[in-house]
Amino acid sequence: MSGNFAILAAAGAVLMLFSVCGISIPIGETTPTPTPTYTPPATPTPFHAATPAPTPIATHTPSTTQTPAPTPTPAVQPAKVPLQNGNFETGDYSHWTVTDTGFGSEPSDIITANVNHMYLDQPYYNYEGRYAASSYLPIRDAGARGTLTSDAFTISKPYLEFLATGMQNGQIYVELWVDGQPVKHLEPDNPTTSFRRYSWDVSQWLNKRGYLKIVDASATRQHGYIEVDDFYLIDTPTVTPS
């Protein structure tokens, strides 16, 4: 402040001197002290953290070759499991072992037997498919004898069912063998030509291995035969089990 006053005082003294000397200085020509223009401080460019370039969103291109994965479904156990060639529809005794001559060298063609009137009394009824095992038809002799033994199978269901005809006779029967002994035994009480469905409760041998024996050891003529067909394992019996 005192510096400015000194300057003003000095300027005043100079003016007085010029005035005294007749020198006039036009006031308007006084060189104005440049007023510093206010320059606002530069607004700092706000600092932005480097923003990574946005990752382009992958455009989904539907594939024409990729098939959607199938929805996994739990393995479903069929309710009914046929025994191998349990219905004899191969037309031969594959999966069965034959002894003697009663059952012939191959299953009997029931449809042909009906057409050719080869049956004992009446035409066959209630058979499954075309073929069945018969201890009568091969040589048309009810006194013929023989056995059929199935391949071993796993008892995977609680019931074993089959069709059978034949007379009740201690030497004519169907058996299920497990652990080296017969556990089920049926002497058919059906001496007709109409097959009947039988059901065995085999639940106590579930998951064990077993096999079937079909036996005609009787030389009895007339109705001394047995005929079987359509062996399968099943969850729910279709007839009253024994």
- Choose among 133, 110, 141: nearest CA to 218: 141
Q: Least separation, in Å, of the C-beta of 89 and Ca ion?
A: 5
Per the structure block, which two tokens stand in for 103?
A: 């059952």
Give the whole-angstrom CA distance, residue 215 versus residue 227.
Answer: 10
Query: 173 or 231: whose CB is closer to Ca ion?
Result: 231
Q: Does 229 bind Ca ion (CB under 5 A)?
A: yes
Query: 216 or 229: whose CB is closer to Ca ion?
Result: 229
CB 177 within 8 A of CB 213: yes
- Only one of the segments 2-10, 50-58, 143-151, 222-230 lies at the binding site for Ca ion (rule: CB under 5 A); that segment is 222-230
Give the whole-angstrom CA distance, residue 15 versus residue 237.
Answer: 137
Residues in binding contact with Ca ion, number by CB under 5 A: 7
CB within 8 Å of 35: residues ≥ 6 apart:
none
Q: Least separation, in Å, of the C-beta of 147 and Ca ion?
A: 19
Give the whole-angstrom CA distance, residue 160 versus residue 241.
Answer: 9
CB within 8 Å of 240: residues ≥ 6 apart:
199
Query: 128 or 161: whose CB is closer to Ca ion?
Result: 128
Does residue 18 come out as left (phi exceeding 0), alpha (psi in the -120 to 50 range) or beta? alpha
Query: 77 or 112: whose CB is closer to Ca ion?
Result: 112
> What's the N-to-C CA distance of the chain in angstroms?
129
- Only one of the segments 17-25, 80-88, 163-171, 180-188 lies at the binding site for Ca ion (rule: CB under 5 A); that segment is 80-88
Query: 86 or 158: whose CB is closer to Ca ion?
Result: 86
Q: Least separation, in Å, of the C-beta of 113 and Ca ion?
A: 12
Show the binding pattern over residues 114-153: x = contacts Ca ion (CB under 5 A), - = does not: --------------xx-xx---------------------
CB 122 within 8 A of CB 194: yes
Q: Does 87 bind Ca ion (CB under 5 A)?
A: yes
Query: 158 or 163: whose CB is closer to Ca ion?
Result: 163
Question: What is the β-pairing status of strands 209-216 and 226-234?
Answer: unpaired
- Only one of the segments 57-65, 79-87, 90-98, 195-203 lies at the binding site for Ca ion (rule: CB under 5 A); that segment is 79-87
CB 96 within 8 A of CB 115: no
Give the position of tokens 């069945």: 132
Q: Least separation, in Å, of the C-beta of 232 and Ca ion?
A: 11
Query: 109 or 216: whose CB is closer to Ca ion?
Result: 109
Show the binding pattern over residues 181-220: x = contacts Ca ion (CB under 5 A), - = does not: ----------------------------------------
Neighbours of 38 (CB within 10 A): 6
Residues near Ca ion, by CB under 5 A: 87-88, 128-129, 131-132, 229
